Amino acid sequence: MTYPRLRMSTPVRLAIGGVVCAAALIAAATLAEAAPAGDPPGANGTVKIDGRAFDGDIDNEPHVTCDFQVNFFNFDDDEHANIVFTVHPPTGPGTELLRLDNALVSDDPAGGGDPDPDETFLFSASQLGLDAYTAHPQQGFHVKLTVERIGAPGAGKHKVFWIGPCASPSPTPSRTPSSPPTSPSTPPSSPPSSPPSSSTSPSSSPSSP
Ligand SMILES: [Ca+2]
Ligand SMILES: [Ca+2]
Ligand SMILES: [Ca+2]
């Protein structure tokens, strides 16, 4: 019978904790509502890298594995851009990996108030031809994305990020012994592609007597 002090203070602490949590929630909600997000004129669009799981949030994920999305936000109506990937040091010297010209990145006006999610493009390390490069054992391939805004010279967007090779099945958050850098990769033999050419020309001239 020598512990009445602690027993008395526990419900008080719980009550105080609840009040603090409620106050923090209210403050956060107020901040979110009060954030002014307009649609100023000019190149106010933004580009984000989104790795799995694809969430579409307006934040950048500089480490992705195998495949990833390039998400466009707040671009103007009917805006087009060139999407260009180059290999970045130390993985490579800046060679162009893939170019997607004149892609439609927004089919609606920039959101006047709300965040305006626009187009999303899916890419993968193998699509970029990164198999030709040696992945850093921990980081993967270093790649630079450049978005050239058509009709808006000098207003390009850049993102530099790391892509894990597609061979790794899942991103492991724990520290694992790095796999040996030299992986015996067999070159993909091109499958015998037989296009279904069913070209039946309807040039049948019914010869009537
Ligand atoms: Ca994500
Ligand atoms: Ca838009
Ligand atoms: Ca939109």
User: 35 C-alpha vs ligand 2 centroid, how far in Å?
Assistant: 19
- pTM of structure: 0.61
- The two tokens of residue 143 are 């790649």
Note down the domain range covering 69: 46-164
Residue 78 lies in a domain: yes
Ligand 2 ion: Cβ-proximal residues, 5 Å cutoff: 75, 106, 108, 116, 118
pLDDT above 80: residue 200? no
Q: Which has more pLDDT, 131 or 15?
A: 131
Residue 44 has a pLDDT of 79
Q: Is the peptide bond before 53 cis (omega within 30 degrees of 0)?
A: yes
CA of 39 to the centre of ligand 3 (A): 12
Confidence band for 123, pLDDT divided at 50, 70 and 90 = very high
Determine which of 143-147, 167-171, 173-177 has the lowest per-residue pLDDT on average.
Answer: 167-171
In a domain, 86, yes or no: yes
Residue 142: helix, strand or coil by DSSP? strand
Asked if residues 86 and 68 have their Cβ atoms less than 8 Å apart, the reply is: no
Whether 191 is covered by a domain: the verdict is: no
Which is more confident, 69 or 194? 69
Centre of ligand 2 from the C-alpha of residue 180, in Å: 44
pLDDT at 111: 74
What domain count does the chain have?
Answer: 1
* CATH number of the CATH domain containing 63: 2.60.40
Locate 173 and state its tokens: 């958050």
37 in any annotated domain: no
| Residue 108 located in a structural domain | yes
Ligand number, closest to the Cα atom of 61: 1
Structure tokens, 27: 């403050």
Q: Among the listed ranges 22-26, 37-41, 110-114, which one has the minimum average pLDDT value?
A: 22-26
Instruction: Look at residue 88 and tell me if it is in a domain.
Output: yes
Mean pLDDT score, 191-202: 52
* In a domain? residue 31: no
pLDDT at 117: 94
Q: Kindly report, residue by residue over 1-33, the tens digit of the pLDDT.
A: 444 454 445 444 544 445 544 555 444 444 444
Q: Is residue 110 assigned to a domain?
A: yes
Residue-level pLDDT at 188: 53
